[in-house]
Structure 1
């Protein structure tokens, strides 16, 4: 059961416009037991701080409209990646009820996106843009996660501001959702890494995927916005693979690896990728990509109530609580699929803690654990990637995340 579609565009503010489906949970949403208005102000302050450090003006279009980009560092000289541009567009769309400049920033970020298409499509973004915006060693290829967040943010923008503005956000979203279909495996129905992947190639193909790209809540929104059941099939495929991999390789922790691949050519089952499959030695571990999976799954579970996303998050939350004996600083910066720290012991990183805090929202027995986790990261600021994940978590934890339908 989904919330009814609003008849007219309406501005969402940080006032908890949509109820989460976990109504049996302590404090309704299993949010930290502090004044939610105060919690929202913390979220606003964090977002402003993040934008100040990472959001940069990048010139002006010929028609006079400003361009903005998200720097992958806190310097004007750092590169922009499509992942970061997607986060920036999500944040500015969500914040529109509180930040009078949100639409200006959102539009400027999208102007930059439009100026950097991939070779294969005008409706996907080149994933790596140097500060000088010239050529680079990576070519003009896409990355699924950035494009998926950009498309979803356009649906949010349509609900925030309507379509009689600088952009027809709904039409722009529709084009980008259609383009995303070309980077879904034609048989596997899994998100591929980007438009550079040959579905039938080796070693990367339609069966090579990244669980942090299993954005179930986004896919539900795409299905509703377009009326296309294709996106429900994508959700189902992702959920089947994640359940199978965690069942076969990580039963108790319910961890997923950074990357998955087919067991063997022609297999219908999947396994964690081997080391250096794409990025590094931890490609088959719960590391710096997979840590986003609890944020994506919980972001679906608390709205849809789907047990396929809800139960893994409850299991994961119970496991990490027991693994650390309830010590939030006992969380390691990554685990192998058996739940052993990949660096030999606790090495606290807020990027990992915020995902576990969000997962705790799904379990009515984890209120105190979630509170303890929240206290460790809500004021942290360690860099672009860390800040973005903390911010995504803050929106969920404070009841300020919403869906464009």
Structure 2
């Protein structure tokens, strides 16, 4: 018998709605002159990121309370918007839509009393439910990361699904402008609670330089305002570099307006006697301040950040474990350690700073990569260090792209 017609080929499966446009690893093109580790392959770096992501999720993601996924940041079953924003950013870069959407659901369940699209800064498990505590108001760092994460999500999955990521991002950015930016002085304030003298205080760990440029691109109606905030951040950092931190490039945990400039706060402002020094907030700044050059090609902060890279490599004698968990800015000799221990939260950001290049920077960056991926620190240390490290690894491995 003659052969019958060949069966029609099976239709190709429809693409998953959860498939990201830029699945990890999504190798980005950085600004010319930016370096990456040279002693390991790209595949090995990508594998390290994936391994640390699995360890991070297992150690810190929780769903208790039934309001969505949240990041466990201490032993009391609490979370903060800083942790939540970071988690959303990480999930977006890793293309993990299920986690991202569940984290967005949680953020929307815990709004600030002052602005409905800003997340309240802290929740604790109580009676089986996560409840906002210590003031139902926002923290600027959490707000900025949530907004940035939403822009990443829009780039990854579009905004035609269950969540309109782009519309939500714009709601958040506009409430940041309305409630967390001092329209008079142009500074980022600590949160939407800032009134009176708090309005002229700022926290350099909120100086997320590449985020600000992304907001200007996305929020076109307010692009000039976002550009002005970026310019204010740049002016604050460069004033400190020229007036006290010429040898180190360091900025402190908190600053306050003094005349036309911002200077390190005297004494305790919000957290400790080291609020005017490079401590557990400012430890993030060697990462945050470098990003507008690495990703966006801006050069206005390059001199201060290269100085930080040169200084810390010399101060640590080329050994990452010698980086100390705190240096004076205002309260002692600038750049002198006041802590005698190391901490992953201080070591990891210096790897992003080292990417800017300069004398001996390649060897220093290689040593930092080895240190933070297992040479000195295990797969889990603590929420703060591990969550900073996760974002640093995404950056240093070449997997941080701009939405």
TM-score, normalised by the number of residues in structure 2 = 0.89
C-alpha contact 1:208 1:260 (8 A) present in aligned 2: yes
Corresponding residue number in structure 2 for 1:79: 78
Match of 1:290 among 276, 282, 285: 282
C-alpha contact 2:123 2:133 (8 A) present in aligned 1: no
Displacement, 1:168? 0.6
Counterparts of 2:296 and 2:342, CA distance in 1: 31
Match of 1:315 among 281, 290, 307: 307
SS in 2 for 1:275: coil
C-alpha contact 2:36 2:398 (8 A) present in aligned 1: no
Counterparts of 2:347 and 2:268, CA distance in 1: 25
SS in 2 for 1:235: helix
Match of 1:191 among 188, 193, 198: 188
Corresponding residue number in structure 2 for 1:64: none
Runs (5+) with no aligned partner, structure 1: 1-8, 62-66, 97-101
Match of 1:46 among 14, 29, 52: 52
Match of 1:208 among 188, 201, 217: 201
1:155 and 2:144 equivalent? no
Counterparts of 1:161 and 1:135, CA distance in 2: 30
Match of 2:218 among 225, 234, 238: 225
Counterparts of 1:30 and 1:358, CA distance in 2: 9
Displacement, 1:197? 0.6
C-alpha contact 2:33 2:356 (8 A) present in aligned 1: no
Counterparts of 1:13 and 1:367, CA distance in 2: 28
Residues 258-293 of structure 1 deviation map (CA, whole Å, 9 limit, x = unaligned): 000122xxx111211122111111100001000111
Counterparts of 2:351 and 2:20, CA distance in 1: 30
Displacement, 1:357? 1.4
Corresponding residue number in structure 2 for 1:259: 254
Corresponding residue number in structure 2 for 1:342: 338
Runs (5+) with no aligned partner, structure 2: 1-18
SS in 1 for 2:202: coil
Q: Could you say if the C-alpha distance between residues 137 and 103 of structure 1 is closer, same or farther in structure 2, counting changes exceeding 3 Å?
A: closer
Q: Could you say if the C-alpha distance between residues 397 and 136 of structure 1 is closer, same or farther in structure 2, counting changes exceeding 3 Å?
A: closer
Residues 342-375 of structure 1 deviation map (CA, whole Å, 9 limit, x = unaligned): 12x4x22121111111101001430001111221
Counterparts of 2:231 and 2:315, CA distance in 1: 30
How many residues are matched? 371
- Point out 4+ residue stretches in structure 1 off by more than 2 angstroms: 13-18, 29-33, 58-61, 132-137
Counterparts of 1:34 and 1:134, CA distance in 2: 42
Moved more, 52-61 or 318-327: 52-61
Displacement, 1:13? 2.5
Counterparts of 2:24 and 2:358, CA distance in 1: 24
Q: How does 1:105-184 map to 2 (within 5 A)?
A: 105-132=99-126, 133=129, 138-182=134-178, 183-184=180-181
Bigger radius of gyration among the two: 2
Counterparts of 1:333 and 1:360, CA distance in 2: 18
C-alpha contact 1:145 1:213 (8 A) present in aligned 2: yes
Counterparts of 1:226 and 1:33, CA distance in 2: 40
RMSD between aligned residues: 1.6
Q: Could you say if the C-alpha distance between residues 308 and 162 of structure 1 is closer, same or farther in structure 2, counting changes exceeding 3 Å?
A: same
